[in-house]
């Protein structure tokens, strides 16, 4: 297996055989540094779904890639107006009529202030994590009960919860050991609450008073709880901001799909205008914040220039990318490249590599795998490694236990002598300020459809409503193909995968008979009551 390595620019000989992470031509420096997004807003009547494109000629452009099914817009006379509409200074000086500013705690609903007659809210979406060891098993159940985490064929969809119960009970003991090693629970909620509070402060400092909410996917405070608070506070305009820099079906997509189902069933939410910031890994502030942390950690090594920068990202099933059009892999590779370009402007030209961690189950996940890559780097003679948790903005089990403990031990056993790790962004000031700017830039699009030329589309701009975003990013979410299409017997990678799938099918059938029979095998063995 060839590990993808971004070679230092000072070594031409090595770069020729390395996997260079470079953005496409449409995302070169000039385009991605433009503060004004290249998207033209359209007015929308939320209740009747009527659209107008102000003096713009609209051309529908379709492609087999679900990411390219956007409506492109060419417009000459209105472009200058669009520029002024979304420019940062105009936001501060012209668009917002700010009422009296009141100071209050996060629990005080009286701080939901008006901007132009609207109550503005920001909903941060995150994974969630168990806060105590007793929370671990129910948290795992919520995780594996999500069809975006374990996607069963539609014919077996009724077995989603029984399978989640089985897997969560089986994995709980080992997971508890991991959480016990980092203090008995995940710090994710505490850190996300701190980020929400800092984001709120930053928005107020930028003359945009808004209330910030936290909605977790698999643990408290659940997204449903955040939505209920939003309704109680009377929010009329909502910016939805997943705390995942890169979009994936299994992270941002899962949270947004839950919101989609909630929105459809609630009349208040149907009439509440909203927009989504799908991913923000290309934002200048985020890139600079990541570079700041890397630069600081490199200085802790005796020979900083010899350190391999090791980006470790959360993995996703390969089929999500190759068959369902998930943009996660492409966005991750581009993100790494942008960070390295920023470091190069600071005369930091270290080699780097990207790998994926946290794979679960018998299916094929994105490669290269973090554990295998660490072993391979040790064999190649790498002596100093700096791990960068690229897909995480808060510390949690995958950084504090998987990276800091498991991968560090593996690295030292593999011949790597010096190990370091870049902390998650947390409340890093540049990062928080940039998130606030992203919210501000999205406000003209709240309640409005947006359209774009694909080559000018930038992730810092929201694409539209939850439903439209899901259709663009995950068009085949109900018919995801199987992750492996080659059937082989023997000791091969494909055979191992299929053997695992056969075993999973056997488990499904066993659970099915337990539900349909009065006293199945697990009942007779006394195991089923333990699983329940």
Residue pair 248/328 in contact (Cβ under 8 Å)? The answer is: yes
What are the tokens at 239?
């910016």
What is the average per-residue pLDDT within 352-369? 89
The conformational region for residue 183 under phi > 0 = left, psi -120 to 50 = alpha, else beta, is left
Three-class secondary structure of residue 339 per DSSP:
helix
In the chain, what is the greatest distance between 2 CA atoms, to the nearest angstrom?
A: 76
State the average pLDDT for the chain.
Answer: 74
What is the average per-residue pLDDT within 496-503? 51
147-151, 289-293, 307-311, 456-460: least confident range = 456-460
**Residue 14: pLDDT over 60:** no
Using the 8-state DSSP alphabet, how is residue 67 labeled? G
Quick count: other Cβ atoms within 10 Å of Cβ 31? 16
Q: Tell me: the pLDDT tens digits for 196-234? A: 999 999 999 999 999 999 999 999 999 999 999 999 999
Better pLDDT: 150 or 131: 131
| Structural element, H or E, at residue 52 | strand 50-52
Distances (CA, A) of 149 to 163, 251, 351, 438, 465: 12, 9, 33, 28, 23
What is the average per-residue pLDDT within 471-479? 52
**Residue 58: pLDDT over 60:** no
How much of the chain, in percent, has pLDDT values that exceed 70?
62
> Dihedral of the CA atoms 378, 383, 389, 395 (nearest 10)?
110
Q: Which CATH class is domain 286-425?
A: alpha beta
83-87, 172-176, 390-394: least confident range = 83-87
Residue 505 and residue 507: Cα distance in Å, rounded? 5
Domain boundaries, the chain: 120-281+430-449, 286-425, 500-531
What pLDDT does 312 receive?
97
**Residue 16: pLDDT over 50:** no
Point out which residues pair with 311 in neighbouring strands.
354, 388
Distant-in-sequence, close-in-space partners of 455: CB < 8 Å, separation ≥ 6: 26
Residue 444 and residue 439: Cα distance in Å, rounded? 10
Q: Tell me: the pLDDT tens digits for 288-343? A: 999 999 999 999 999 999 999 999 999 998 988 888 888 999 999 999 999 999 99
Most confident of 40-49, 160-169, 330-339, 363-372: 330-339
Half-sphere CA count of 418, side-chain side, radius 13 A: 15
282-291, 424-433, 498-507: least confident range = 498-507
Residue 30 and residue 37: Cα distance in Å, rounded? 12
Residue 304 and residue 340: Cα distance in Å, rounded? 15
Per-residue confidence at 465, pLDDT binned at 50, 70, 90?
low
Using the 8-state DSSP alphabet, how is residue 3 labeled? P
Using the 8-state DSSP alphabet, how is residue 192 labeled? H
Point out which residues pair with 313 in neighbouring strands.
356
What pLDDT does 363 receive?
77
Q: How far is CA 432 from the centre of its chain?
A: 16
Considering the four listed CATH numbers 3.40.50.1400, 3.90.1150.10, 3.40.50.720, 2.40.50.140, the one that applies to the domain covering 120-281+430-449 is 3.40.50.1400
Residue pair 171/158 in contact (Cβ under 8 Å)? The answer is: no
Distances (CA, A) of 518 to 50, 147, 163, 526: 55, 28, 19, 13
What pLDDT does 472 receive?
63
Q: Tell me: the pLDDT tens digits for 247-290? A: 998 899 889 989 988 988 888 887 888 989 989 999 999 999 99
Three-class secondary structure of residue 432 per DSSP:
helix
Per-residue confidence at 460, pLDDT binned at 50, 70, 90?
very low
Q: pTM, whole model, 2 decimals? A: 0.70
Please confirm whether the linkage preceding 368 is cis (ω < 30° from 0): yes
What is the average per-residue pLDDT within 63-69? 34
Report the chain's terminal Cα–Cα distance, integer Å.
Answer: 42
79-93, 373-387, 515-529: least confident range = 79-93
What pLDDT does 94 receive?
32
Residue 368 and residue 333: Cα distance in Å, rounded? 12
Distances (CA, A) of 531 to 137, 318, 497: 11, 30, 26
């Amino acid at each position: 297996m060839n590990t993808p390595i971004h070679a230092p620019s000072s070594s031409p000989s090595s770069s020729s055989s390395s996997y260079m992470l470079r953005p496409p031509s449409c995302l070169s420096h000039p385009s991605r540094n433009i503060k004004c997004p290249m998207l033209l807003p359209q007015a929308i009547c939320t209740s009747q779904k009527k659209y107008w494109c102000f003096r713009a000629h609209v051309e529908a452009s379709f492609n087999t890639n679900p990411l390219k099914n956007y409506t492109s817009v060419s417009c000459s006379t209105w472009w200058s107006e669009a520029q002024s509409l979304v420019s940062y200074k105009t936001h501060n000086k012209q668009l917002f009529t700010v009422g009296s500013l009141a100071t209050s705690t996060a629990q005080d609903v009286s701080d939901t202030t008006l901007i132009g007659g609207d109550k503005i809210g920001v909903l941060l979406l995150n994974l969630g994590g168990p806060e105590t060891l007793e929370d671990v098993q129910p948290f795992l159940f919520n995780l594996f009960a999500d069809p975006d985490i374990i996607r069963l064929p539609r014919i077996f969809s009724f077995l989603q919860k029984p399978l989640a119960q089985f897997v969560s009970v089986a994995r709980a003991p080992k997971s508890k050991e991991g959480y016990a090693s980092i203090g008995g629970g995940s710090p994710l909620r505490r850190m996300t609450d701190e980020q929400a509070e800092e984001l709120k402060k930053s928005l107020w400092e930028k003359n945009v008073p808004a209330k910030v909410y936290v909605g977790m996917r698999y643990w408290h405070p659940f997204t449903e709880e955040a939505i209920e608070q939003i309704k109680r506070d009377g929010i009329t305009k909502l910016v939805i901001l997943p705390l995942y820099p890169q979009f994936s079906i299994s992270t941002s997509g899962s949270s947004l799909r839950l919101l989609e189902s909630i929105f459809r069933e609630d009349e208040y939410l149907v009439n509440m205008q909203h927009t989504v910031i799908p991913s923000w890994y290309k934002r200048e502030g985020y890139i600079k914040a990541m570079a700041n942390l890397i630069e600081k950690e490199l200085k802790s090594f005796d020979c900083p220039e010899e350190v391999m920068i090791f980006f470790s990202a959360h993995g996703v099933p390969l089929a999500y990318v190759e068959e369902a059009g998930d943009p996660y892999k492409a966005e991750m590779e581009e993100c790494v490249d942008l960070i390295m370009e920023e470091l190069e402007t600071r005369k930091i030209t270290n080699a780097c590599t990207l790998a994926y961690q946290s794979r679960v189950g018998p299916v094929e996940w994105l490669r290269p795998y973090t554990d295998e890559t660490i072993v391979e780097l040790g064999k190649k003679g790498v002596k100093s490694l700096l791990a960068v948790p690229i897909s995480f903005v808060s510390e949690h089990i995958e950084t504090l236990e998987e990276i800091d403990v498991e991968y560090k031990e593996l690295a030292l056993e593999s011949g790597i002598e010096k190990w370091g790790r870049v902390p998650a962004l947390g409340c890093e000031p540049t990062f928080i300020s940039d998130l606030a700017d992203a919210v501000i830039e999205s406000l003209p699009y709240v309640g409005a459809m947006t359209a774009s030329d694909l080559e000018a589309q930038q992730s810092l701009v929201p694409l539209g409503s939850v439903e439209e975003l899901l259709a663009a990013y995950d068009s085949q979410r109900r018919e995801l193909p199987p992750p492996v299409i080659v059937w082989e017997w023997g000791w091969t990678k494909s055979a191992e995968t299929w053997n695992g799938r056969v075993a999973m099918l056997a488990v499904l059938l066993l659970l099915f008979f337990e539900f349909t029979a009065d006293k199945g095998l697990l009942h007779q063995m006394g195991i089923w009551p333990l699983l329940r």
